Structure 1
């Protein structure tokens, strides 16, 4: 059985398969829709309009550049949620591929995370354009954006690998995660700033990785300020631990996957 130390080399040997799966995902995701790939951007845009109407128009909350404020959070959140949702079915719903080809099965959720990353990067590019249209010019601190995105990718990949494995044994996990992610969204500062949280509870609140990620994106992109480096370092450590544990558990049960699907 392949160990955790040897698994990266085995994945590297299958980089061509990973590239093929990523390109296949990108070609098939929206190929049958009239607006095609624009739907990846239109979907969060519609959410932004809905939440803006609810929060800013009805409840008279929000503030200056509020659409961009929530847009950054929703775009980052969409990358995470779509990736884990697709990953949960990547193995459980792909038995023919698993039976016919001998390859590290972690490639399947990895391909979903990677293909959605392409959309995420393009979406962030659109956000930068909108920021400049709004008169918010990028500062040198935008160099932190790839770092923040890398941390989110590590976290997303770790969660995706774990859930891809769990979905093989527990079909209801997708329904469970639908409610769990909805709850996590509302306890994360996607629609409101972290400053709304009482200061005495803020350190505890920032244990939520998305509190740090959303805040960090906005600090460097919207406000031209340093991200919360201490919280960001903590989120990085947590993300790496999730990824390592995810791979360790996945490798432990990988040989049993073919029997279950």
Structure 2
């Protein structure tokens, strides 16, 4: 495994190139070019604001636009990373079959590429905070901690999906539906407190919906962003610690797994 890590370090220039080329590919041949890094999250927020606040008259959380933009920008990083990571190894199949490369570098590059995109989304968040007069408190210093937790979480999930998808191609088709379910099951466009204490009946069993917030890593991360940026309170330290620890363990396991089994990828491709 140490040899595998050393090989990854030798390829740090490739990682930088993949991140750079991934950023360029997102807006290639578009008239607005890199302006889409700002325009895309902004339009996404406007669409959901129109649907929820104006059409459905939902969104009691005030200011709802700020509440919405924080959730959607954080979710956008997760969704794009999950979907792109699953295809990352297959996308570079021609390179993999010609030159030996640590295969884990491809899903890793996706997570970092989308983190750069996320940083531009934070500019939109800051704009909304300023426009609606929401001033974050000193707790804003915890933002790097939340970002690091989300990065490690997405790295671990991305590496798992990238490997599995090579052998089970149906995963790529299912992800669109699974991420949609995760989106609506997470407090992206609704407040997590709404589900506290609510129950559903499945046959003779009664299930509380608290787990959708308490044990949902996306929920923990999004709510932590809102606590820091919107409510001037501390993030969910215990929740973030659990997400980070489990994600880091999975990331370590996946690195070990890649080092022992990634030769099988070439055969599958």
Q: Does TM, normalized by the shorter one, top 0.5?
A: yes
For residue 240 of structure 1, what is the aligned residue in structure 2? 248
Partner of 1:168: 166
Aligned match of 2:92 in 48, 73, 94? 94
Task: Report whether the alignment pairs 1:60 with 2:46.
Answer: no
Q: What residue in structure 2 maps to residue 40 of structure 1?
A: 37
Asked if the contact 1:155/1:239 (under 8 Å) is kept, the reply is yes
Which position in structure 1 is the counterpart of 2:204? Answer: none
The Cα of 1:203 is off from its aligned counterpart by: 5.3
Q: Deviations along 1:32-80, whole A, 9 cap, x unmatched?
A: 1112223233333233222222221222221322112111111111111
Answer yes or no: is the 8 Å Cα contact 2:41–2:124 preserved in 1. Answer: no
Aligned partner of 1:137 in structure 2 is 135
Q: Is the 8 A contact 2:136 2:232 kept in 1?
A: yes
SS of the aligned residue for 1:37 comes to: helix
Q: What is residue 201 of structure 2 aligned with on the other side?
A: none
Q: What are the superposed Cα offsets for residues 210-249 of structure 1, whole Å, 9 maximum, x if unpaired?
A: 1101100000011111112222222222222332233233
| Unmatched runs of 5 consecutive residues or more in structure 1 | none
1:253 Cα deviation from its structure 2 partner: 2.2
Task: Supply the distance in 2 between the matched residues of 1:6 and 1:148 (Cα, whole angstroms).
Answer: 31
Deviation at 1:250, TM superposition (A): 2.8
Give the TM-score normalised by the residue count of structure 1: 0.92
Contact 2:65 2:128 in 1 (8 A): no
Gaps of 5+ in 2: 199-207
Per-residue deviation, residues 173-215 of structure 1 (Å, max 9, x unmatched): 1111111110011000001111111247575231000110110
**TM-score (normalizing by structure 2):** 0.89
Contact 1:162 1:250 in 2 (8 A): no
Aligned residues between the structures:
258
The aligned counterpart of 2:202 is none
Alignment of 1:216-227 (within 5 A): 216-227=224-235
User: Could you say which residue in structure 1 is the equivalent of 2:117?
Assistant: 119
Separation of aligned partners in 2, 1:83 and 1:152:
11
